[in-house]
Amino acid sequence: MEINHDQIVSVLKHIDAGRDEDMKKEVFCELGRQCFTCRKVKEWVEGFHGDVQAFLDRVNVEDKSPYWKSLVFNEDRSILYLTGKEGGKCACVYAECDEPPLSLCRHCCRTFQEQIFGTLFGCDVEVEITKAHLLGDHSCDTAIHIRR
């Protein structure tokens, strides 16, 4: 039996519309972790073998990311600023609907990026969503705080 995208979106919207913030966080953070592992993103990031510069070059020099415009460190390399490409839409297939669940940004995407950059840097990171298509911005930007 094929998975029904509309059914999943309806369930996610229902959870997002609820008042239980802990439930939203639990479900949408797990969705972000599953996206990282089930879509083989984990293996892709591990393929860089911790070579942060190669990862940055893929975005900044080779322009190979469909969603990210640049990745730039602050002066002491404790924060990596991700600037998304303008225009377009949210990268998540579950956001392709009327009134997408905002928990996709607040929890799912944040967790997904924490998995990506935590794996790349080999340490805990905290992702701060600073702009998002779903929140009315023209790009999706984040600040990745590196906890070494």
Q: Provide the 3-class DSSP secondary structure of residue 101.
A: coil
pLDDT at 41: 97
Question: Which residues in the chain land under pLDDT 70?
Answer: 1
Residue with tokens 């967790």: 111
Count of the separate structural domains present in the chain: 1
What is the per-residue pLDDT for 128? 98
Range of the domain at 32: 5-147
Q: Which residue has the tokens 């579950």?
A: 94
The count of other CB atoms within 10 Å of the CB of residue 140 is 27
Which residue type occupies 62? Answer: E
Among the residues of the chain, which ranges form H helices? 5-17, 21-38, 41-46, 52-60, 103, 110-121
Q: What is the pLDDT of residues 67-87, one digit of tens each?
A: 999 999 999 999 999 999 998
**What confidence score (pLDDT) does residue 1 get?**
62
CATH of the domain at 103: 3.30.1380
pLDDT of residue 43: 97
